[in-house]
């Protein structure tokens, strides 16, 4: 589901091409996020370029990731959202909660 690389102390996570973050994948995503965000004071860049679709369960998984990052004092940056994902974030006013680039 994800490709994870660590570059200069930053953890970069990207979705595989054609990914969907929906009810079928949200639980798996939460487990992977918990595996990735370990320790304290990290920096996570989540690249959404290959995320083709997200539903409310997927949004819930991202909100769980944000909560986990805050608990562990990690910085979370979301990058490269496709237009449908941007539209959903705007509709739900999530751009005020997440750092988007």
- Enter the tokens of residue 94: 């999530």
Residue 6 has pLDDT above 90, yes or no: yes
Is 51 in contact with 85 (CB distance < 8 Å)? yes
Pick from 40, 41, 96: nearest CA to 63? 96
State pLDDT tens for residues 19-44: 999 999 999 999 999 999 998 999 99
pTM of the model: 0.93
Percent share of the chain, pLDDT over 90:
90
């Amino acid at each position: 589901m994800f490709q994870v690389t660590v570059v200069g102390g930053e953890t970069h996570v990207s979705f595989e091409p054609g990914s969907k973050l929906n009810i079928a994948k949200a639980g798996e995503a939460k487990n992977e996020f918990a595996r990735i965000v370990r320790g304290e004071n990290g920096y996570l860049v989540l690249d959404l370029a290959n995320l083709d679709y997200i539903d409310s369960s997927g949004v819930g998984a991202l909100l769980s990731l944000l909560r986990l990052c805050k608990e562990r004092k990690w910085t979370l940056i979301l990058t490269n959202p496709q237009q449908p994902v941007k539209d959903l974030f705007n509709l739900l006013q999530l751009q005020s909660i997440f750092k988007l680039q």
